[in-house]
Chain A
Amino acid sequence: MISQLQQKLAAGRFVITSEVCPPKGADCGEFLTTARSLNRQVDAINVTDNQGANMRIAPLAVASLLVREGIEPVYQITCRDRNRMALQSDLLGAAALGVSNILALTGDHISFGDHRQGKPVFDLDSVQLLQAISTLESGFDLAGNKLMGTPVFFAGAAAAPAAEPFELTLFKLQKKATAGARFFQTQAIFDPDRLARFTTAVSPLNVKVIAGIILLKSAGMARYMNRNVPGLKVPDHIVAEMEEASDPVAKGVEIASRIASAVRSHCDGLHIMAMGREELIPEIIKEIR
């Protein structure tokens, strides 16, 4: 199935994506309600893969439920819990179910989550996973066996524009592009200048950039994430701004929309992480749509 997200990006349309965490359990009622209401605001909805190494329902299953609803998913798939066989067979499953947008990730380490005694897999890394996706798209598996049919994906990868040393991260981004990434979804951006530096650096790679925007709900949440979420670093001045606010959620919306407006010209789309307050997304993107 041809990805509409891909077509919109190719046509130069500014896209908005968001994400909904699949439920811990098989009851997807609430998940679908959130996704349905969100669908009016966004171009695609990411379904996270055992995010933060916390066990939840398979993202492929909920991605497929979204397809049934006419909602376009971005299937996040990590290398933490699957070896190369499971990754490939899940990807083929995705293609069969009409799930074509893939965000290929390494995955947070298992020690962050709720099953710390499990065996972390990491048979492939994110670059090799992107290669595997390209290989499947060529009609073969990683062992060189011919596939029935040729799956079509729109594969992307994660990027951390603020991470230092930047040069070191750039090497990996180049590899991701070579391996087949056609969009980068960034970590939450707080400093528009860092995103500008990033976009300039990756522009020769011809990869679309979807900038991450997070809705902070309180100063406490920002501090908690700084301690516990890999790759996420809320700068002190923003934590202070949250601290001083009388209505922290309103402040969070203000900060998110301020950043969204500031990064608008440095990217091809935004990925809004609304942390359970998805109803606030229209307000965050009001200025830029």
Chain B
Amino acid sequence: MIVSKQKPFEDILASLDGRSRVFLVGCAKCATVCKSGGEEEVWKMQEALTTAGKEVTGSIVIDEACHMLRVGRDLRARKEMVEEADALLVLACGAGVQSIAASAGKTTIAGADTLFLGNIRRFGQFEQRCSLCGECILTETAGICPVTVCPKGLLNGPCGGMDEGRCETDPESECVWHQIYQRLKEQQSTDNLGKIAPGKDFSRMLKPGKLKLDK
């Protein structure tokens, strides 16, 4: 899922400066799970904005805010409320904000910061495990991603800052190469560690990504 985090309320208010009527948009998928823009957060935002003297013309929690056709349809269904508003405040990831901005026809405010593609470790705890590199090497690395979990993305083993299996950038975290080493040892296939991994093909992740499925 895409992990996002609501911006500080003062920042949101500052973005709404000079705009008194606001239409609120949340997302029923990722933003709901990470509590940046589900039903509950949209409702709380409405309360907070009202207390701050804003008028909330209406709100909607779209099933998938990144789904451009659905967003267009859902906003049309709330046409009057949207039209009444001076701005839309979106509590969803950056993909969601953009599909809404494309359909809204008026100022759209991003109410959340989009952080990463995350695994859910447990309720309310998310971790980045994949950084969408376009050419997955997990088969070679015991199913643990050094591209993402190593802050330097090193592909050939630990840097000189690793010690006692800890990462140089954060002694609380285990060096990804230590994780890979331990798992390969369990699987009795540490031979893998001796193979030189070539430089990554970054052309696989050139922006903006596009994919069109064959009919």
Q: Which chain A residues have a beta carbon within 8 Å of chain B's beta carbons?
A: 79-80, 84, 105-109, 111-112, 120, 122-128, 131, 142, 158-160, 162-165, 167-169, 171-172, 174-175, 178-179, 187, 230-231, 233
Contact = CB atoms under 8 A, between A and B. Distances in A.
B152 A106 contact: yes
A52 to B, nearest CB: 11
A122 B153 contact: yes
Contacts of A109: 151-152, 161, 168-169
A175 B178 contact: no
A165 B200 CA distance: 26
A164 B198 contact: no
Interface string B182-213: 00000000100110111110100000000000
A174 B196 CA distance: 10
Interface residues of B, number: 29
Interface of B is mostly: loop
B40 interface: no
A245 B114 CA distance: 53
Interface of B: 151-165, 168-169, 177-178, 181, 190, 193-194, 196-200, 202
Given A165-B178, A165-B181, A231 B152 contact: no
Contact of B156 (A111, A127, A162): A127
* Minimum-distance CB pairs A-B, first 7: A230-B161, A172-B157, A230-B168, A127-B156, A171-B193, A231-B160, A125-B154
Contacts of A187: 160
Contact of A108 (B164, B168, B194, B202): B168
Given A168-B178, A230-B168, A122 B152 contact: yes
A4 B159 CA distance: 29
Contacts of B162: 160, 163, 168-169, 231
Nearest to B195: A175
A220 B152 CA distance: 29
B157 A128 contact: no
Question: Most B CB atoms within 10 A — which of A105, A159, A175?
Answer: A175
27 contacts: A79-B152, A84-B199, A105-B160, A109-B151, A109-B161, A109-B168, A120-B151, A120-B152, A124-B199, A125-B155, A125-B156, A127-B197, A131-B198, A131-B199, A159-B160, A160-B163, A162-B163, A163-B163, A164-B163, A168-B162, A171-B190, A171-B193, A172-B157, A230-B159, A230-B161, A231-B161, A231-B162
Contacts of B199: 84, 123-124, 128, 131, 142
